[in-house]
Amino acid sequence: MNELYEATNPIFNTAKMTLNLLTSVGNTDAAEFSKVLGFEKQPHVEGQSAEIELLGKIGAVTIELRYALANRMIEQAGNKNVLDLACGYTPKAKYLMDKGYNYVGGDLPAVAEDMTRVSRELLDSKAKYCVVDVTNGASIEKAAEGFAGPITVDCEGLMSYLDKNEITAAVNNIATLLRKHGGCWVTTDFESDSYFFVIAQAVSGGAGSRFSEIVQSQVINKTADAAHAPVFKSLDEKAEFLESLGLSVERRPITGLETLGLRTLYALTAEQRAAITAALEKVNVWIMTPKTAAETYTAVNDGGLGIGERLDGEKLTVALTGRLDSISAPELLGRFRDIISKSTVGKITLDLTNLEYTSSAGLRVMLMMYKHVGQGNMTLLGVNDTVADVLKTTGFSEFF
């Protein structure tokens, strides 16, 4: 099943890479998690050269900084309940629970299953891991249902991979949760490109743009199936977008690096450390709080996926009902692979009349189906305005 999740969600393996990097820089909690999980080492980027080796060093500093900043932001928020969305395999649960926090991590089913095992073996099953898709409000609400009191929502390393429709859904869902429970949302995601550039610029001696381009090309190769424009043109536009969805935004400069105990930072030269410290004071972490509390709260439909298929000779018709997202897309891919393993499929009709939503994970499955039958042999029926807008803004409409 993990293979299906990797096929529909290409960023799946970046969570493993993060754990490996934290382990490699001497994080003892990460080392304990790695031992239980038994993952093979994942390369930060593909290839071998002096440039790639240097990029690995830049990546290690960036990941350790992001991890430490997230923990510090959670501590500064003051709420004892933490919902870590797209939690991956990082050892944040142990760090926070050792300090008295209640921790729930949310991620894909395969990650939640792996981390539940880690919680059982290392944390007396006190850390809870749930299946969550950030575009699915019901899954977020279910993950938070055991909390009493305000919540700090943490989300690291996800937002840059989402398209505009997915970000809108995620922000609406987080805002709804905070209006109900109280608390805040903290993240480094909205300026992650900036602090990567700052570190790359200092470590590489001024070649920050070159290393940013390498990472961006790797991301596109692994996650993008169609070209689309950047979601936001500026930081102010991001802030205005968040404000429009009911969140107040505070941008707090990154200061006090010397208090974070970063092993990777102190492995650099004094000049490099000084350059990074000075530059990061112009880069921010973001803290969002709801503008108002909700007077009433309406639960979100759980939005599962219904799949119906009919094979007439080489003509396959698939009807979808509900939500096609990172949780349900692997099921559709698995069903399709099972069909084509037993039968010849030359034409596909995908009936979306009752499909309420699709994420990029769902679009990837559609594209795999399209590639199987070739140009002109796949038709989409009953596409509503919401799904049509997703297809258009992501560039997938050119295929169908």
Residue-level pLDDT at 10? 60
Confidence at residue 163, expressed as pLDDT on a 0 to 100 scale: 83
**Domain range summary for the chain, segments of one domain joined by +:** 2-290, 305-399
CA distance between the termini of the chain = 28
Note the CATH architecture for domain 2-290: 3-Layer(aba) Sandwich (3.40)
Q: How many helices (H) and strands (E) does the chain have?
A: 15, 11
pLDDT at 120: 97
Measured CA angle at 214 (ends 191, 258), to 5 deg: 45
Q: Do domains 2-290 and 305-399 have the same CATH topology?
A: no
pLDDT (0 to 100) of residue 105: 97
Specify the pLDDT at position 16. Answer: 85
Q: How far apart are CA 384 and CA 395, in angstroms?
A: 17
C-alpha atoms less than 13 angstroms from C-alpha of 46 in its C-beta half-sphere = 8
A 10 A CB-CB count for 131 gives 18
Q: Which one of 2.40.320.10, 3.30.750.24, 3.20.20.120, 3.30.70.1450 gives the CATH number of domain 305-399? A: 3.30.750.24
pLDDT at 303: 57
pLDDT the model gives residue 297: 37
Residue-level pLDDT, tens digit, the chain, 400 residues: 566 766 666 666 678 888 999 999 999 999 999 999 997 665 555 556 788 888 888 989 999 999 999 999 999 999 999 999 999 999 999 999 999 999 999 998 889 999 999 999 999 999 999 999 999 999 999 999 999 999 999 998 888 888 888 899 999 999 999 999 999 999 999 998 898 999 999 999 898 888 888 877 665 555 555 555 568 889 999 999 999 999 999 999 999 998 999 999 989 999 999 999 999 999 999 999 998 764 443 434 455 789 998 999 999 999 999 989 888 888 899 999 999 999 999 999 999 999 988 888 888 899 999 999 998 899 999 998 888 888 887 777 777 7
- Identify the CA nearest to 16 among candidates 35, 39, 46, 33: 39
Residue 100: what pLDDT? Answer: 96
Tokens of 36: 């239980």
Closest Cα to residue 362, out of 398, 322, 310? 322
Q: How far apart are the C-alpha atoms of 108 and 333, rounded to whole Å?
A: 15
The b/e string for 203-215 (b: 16+ C-beta within 10 A; e otherwise) is bbeeebeebbebb
User: What is the model's pLDDT at position 229?
Assistant: 57
